[in-house]
């Protein structure tokens, strides 16, 4: 069967936010605010593309983080949580359209000479197993050069009774205890409370001895833009902060970025209180999908169980996939990446 041909267009940064809002699978990683900062962080360029059908209607879009090998002038394109391809208030595209989208991305890689990698957004509307087959048919292969993403997604488009009913029984008991412990909630834009959250985060980090994140909280504090809202929720006991959680929001999706619960907050189950209040807050501000930001049953079974018991959907995002254009250039790009990785480990 013939594959539909989609046309590719470059999108100006100033037009990207409006385009992103036309897709239901927009997440913070595809916002202009985050994407440009994430690209700068690794010395890459952020470019934006859209794919259009024969009538000129945009059917997919993606922010590309392009890291070029200086001598080759080609390099690796990384698409985080993309391409977006679920129109607002519409079902996901049929497999034939999905294959056309992947085929168009392969054609882009062939035309530019870049190695292309992508991981689709973690949304419950995607059938990961089916997307694996579609991507492979279009020419992509699974890759271990990028990390997979497994997470829990809470559907906030429910009333409070339904959300409470979806909680695991033991989790609900801990929550009820926290609701009777005298904890209060304070919600503040991160721009007004970065130092306050940072003190709590560093205190808990020093006490528990957990490793710093690859992308630390400080990276997010500076992000400001019309398409990315960032706020922090604090649980307080007797006027003191005992737990905090930062949340990033993009249209109808939100993600739990960082959290910290002090020793004083453990006894009243401030972590359960904080998560529950975050779910209710997301619901109140119109968020439908709340991403609890990843789980790893092997490396962190306790946190995994905590998130799984919120009543959300445990899912693995489709990908990561890779497409390497034929020819020697792809091999040279791979060699340059391997050398860079070894050098980075040596410095660490």
206 pLDDT above the threshold of 90: no
Give the pLDDT band (50/70/90) at residue 189: very high
229 pLDDT above the threshold of 70: yes
* pLDDT for position 149: 97
Where are the domain boundaries for CATH 3.40.630.30 in the chain?
A: 7-148+317-347, 153-315
- The top-level CATH class assigned to 7-148+317-347 is alpha beta
167 pLDDT above the threshold of 90: yes
Both tokens assigned to 345: 């480990």
Mean pLDDT of the chain: 94
Give the pLDDT band (50/70/90) at residue 327: confident
Domain 153-315, what fold?
Aminopeptidase (3.40.630)
Task: Name the residue with tokens 């693995």.
Answer: 316
22 exposed, middle or buried (CB, 10 Å; 0-12, 13-18, 19+)?
middle
Q: CA 255 to CA 261: how far, in whole Å?
A: 18
- Do 118 and 83 form a contact (C-beta atoms < 8 A)? yes
Detail the DSSP E strand segments found in 32-126: 45-52, 58-69, 74-80, 115-119
- Do 186 and 236 form a contact (C-beta atoms < 8 A)? yes
CA 288 to chain CA centroid, nearest Å: 15
25-43 per-position pLDDT tens digit: 999 999 999 999 999 999 9
Both tokens assigned to 73: 């002038």
Lowest mean pLDDT among 143-152, 216-225, 305-314, 337-346: 337-346
- Do 273 and 175 form a contact (C-beta atoms < 8 A)? yes
Sequence-separated contacts (24+) of 131-136 with Cβ below 8 Å: 131/98, 131/318, 131/319, 132/318, 134/95, 134/98, 134/99, 134/102, 135/102, 135/318, 135/319, 135/321
Helices (H) and strands (E) in the chain, counts: 12, 14
pTM of the model: 0.94
* pLDDT for position 73: 87
Indicate the angle between helix axes 32-41 and 13-20, nearest 10 degrees. 130
Candidates 50, 56, 52; CA nearest to 26 is 50
Give the pLDDT band (50/70/90) at residue 340: low
């Amino acid at each position: 069967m013939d594959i539909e041909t989609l046309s590719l267009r470059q999108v100006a940064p100033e037009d990207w936010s409006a385009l992103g809002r036309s897709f239901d699978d927009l997440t913070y990683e595809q916002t202009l605010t985050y994407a440009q900062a994430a690209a700068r962080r690794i010395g890459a360029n952020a470019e934006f593309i859209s794919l259009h059908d024969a009538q000129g209607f945009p059917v997919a879009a993606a922010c590309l983080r392009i890291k070029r090998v200086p001598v080759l002038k080609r390099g690796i394109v990384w698409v985080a949580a993309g391409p977006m391809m679920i129109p607002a208030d519409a079902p996901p595209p049929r497999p034939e359209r999905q294959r056309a989208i992947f085929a168009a991305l392969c054609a882009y890689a062939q035309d530019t000479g870049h190695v292309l990698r992508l991981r689709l957004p973690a949304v419950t509307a995607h059938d990961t197993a089916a997307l694996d087959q579609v991507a492979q048919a279009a020419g992509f292969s699974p890759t271990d050069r990028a990390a997979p993403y497994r997470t829990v997604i809470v559907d906030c488009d429910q009333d409070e009774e339904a959300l409470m009913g979806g909680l695991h029984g033991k989790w609900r008991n801990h929550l009820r205890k926290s609701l009777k412990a005298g904890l209060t909630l304070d919600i503040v834009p991160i721009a007004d409370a970065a130092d306050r959250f940072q003190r709590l985060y560093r205190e808990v980090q020093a006490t528990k001895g957990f490793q710093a994140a690859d992308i630390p909280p400080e990276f997010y504090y500076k992000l400001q833009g019309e398409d990315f809202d960032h706020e922090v929720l604090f649980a307080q006991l007797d006027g003191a902060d005992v737990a905090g959680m930062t949340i990033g929001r993009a249209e109808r999706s939100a993600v739990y970025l960082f959290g910290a619960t002090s020793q004083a907050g453990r006894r009243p189950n401030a972590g359960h209180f904080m998560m529950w209040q975050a779910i209710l807050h997301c619901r109140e501000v119109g968020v439908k999908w709340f991403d609890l930001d990843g789980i790893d049953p092997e490396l962190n079974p306790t946190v995994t169980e905590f998130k799984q018991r919120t009543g959300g959907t445990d899912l693995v995002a489709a990908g990561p996939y890779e497409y390497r254009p034929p020819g020697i250039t792809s091999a040279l790009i791979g060699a340059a990446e391997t050398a860079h990785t070894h050098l980075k480990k040596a410095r660490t």
